[in-house]
Structure 1
Amino acid sequence: MTFARLPEISPEEILAHMNDPRVAEHMPLLTGRWDRQICDDFVKAKEDCWRRDGLGHWAILCGGAYAGWGGFQKEGDEWDFGLVLKPESFGLGTRIARKALAFAKSDERIPFVTFLLPPSRKHLRWLERLGAAFVGEVDYAGSTFLKYRLDTE
């Protein structure tokens, strides 16, 4: 498993991923189909995070194939970890999260990581196994999310 930058992935592959209804099931902020402009704007926004914060979301490759995207995004004073996988890669989430969190633990800018998960996600024991603690419900962009926090120091 390796991390790459999103511009290295074909827009068609990202579009197919983000337009899969199984992906949208757990993404309340994903309200419609993506087109090429939305995809290009998304990749640009994620690259802007890298320029602004020195860190952002990666394209995740497993065996050289695109499995999804995820990584860290600065939200105020917090680093939020997000992970959006293609359905055929759903089972890789804990393994990918462990690799990304090992990165966070080695980066002194990141004293803790937050996770925002939609209430539709029912299998959250993996967060407990990682050591994350439930903070509470929060509103983000008009949707309710379950917030967890994991200290990295």
Structure 2
Amino acid sequence: MRAIRDGTELAGWCGIQRESDSYELAIVLSPKYWGHGRKVLDEVLGWARELGHTYLFVHLPTTRRQTRAISGLLGDPIAATVIHDHAFNTYRIEV
């Protein structure tokens, strides 16, 4: 897990975590930093490459609209997933 900072301000956090037999990418940004996802994603994918990952999964709540920005960053969902009784759209991104 890593902090995402803008100078001295905490903008969010990110991490790669094991989930069963695969790895999941999590990025959480403060609303003030929404729209900066591409930069953060590129940096985290570089970190994932250094760790030897070839792909990661991303889970977004089904209540989150599939915007052009999300489609541009993640593509289309590959599955619907339920985690702890909550519904998610699952994406697979190549590292």
TM norm. shorter chain > 0.5: yes
CA shift, 1:134, in A, is 2.0
Q: Give a deviation string over 1:77-114, Cα, whole Å, max 9, x none.
A: 21111111112112222211111112112321x12100
* Greater percentage in helix: 1
CA shift, 1:63, in A, is 2.0
Counterpart among 42, 47, 55 of residue 103 in structure 1 = 47
Alpha-carbon RMSD across the aligned residues, in angstroms, is 1.8
Corresponding position of 2:91:
148
Is residue 84 from structure 1 mapped to residue 61 from structure 2 by the alignment? Answer: no
Unaligned runs of 5+ in 2: none
User: Which structure has more RCO (C-alpha within 8 Å, separation ≥ 6)?
Assistant: 2
Unaligned runs of 5+ in 1: 1-56
Normalised by the length of structure 2, the TM-score is 0.84
Count of equivalent residues: 95
* 1:107-126 matched pairs, under 5 angstroms: 107-108=51-52, 110-126=53-69
Aligned residues of 1:133 and 1:150 also touching (Cα < 8 A): no
Counterpart among 122, 137, 142 of residue 80 in structure 2 = 137
How far, CA to CA, are the matches of 1:139 and 1:70 in structure 2? 21
Aligned residues of 1:132 and 1:151 also touching (Cα < 8 A): no
Q: Give a deviation string over 1:22-59, Cα, whole Å, max 9, x none.
A: xxxxxxxxxxxxxxxxxxxxxxxxxxxxxxxxxxx211
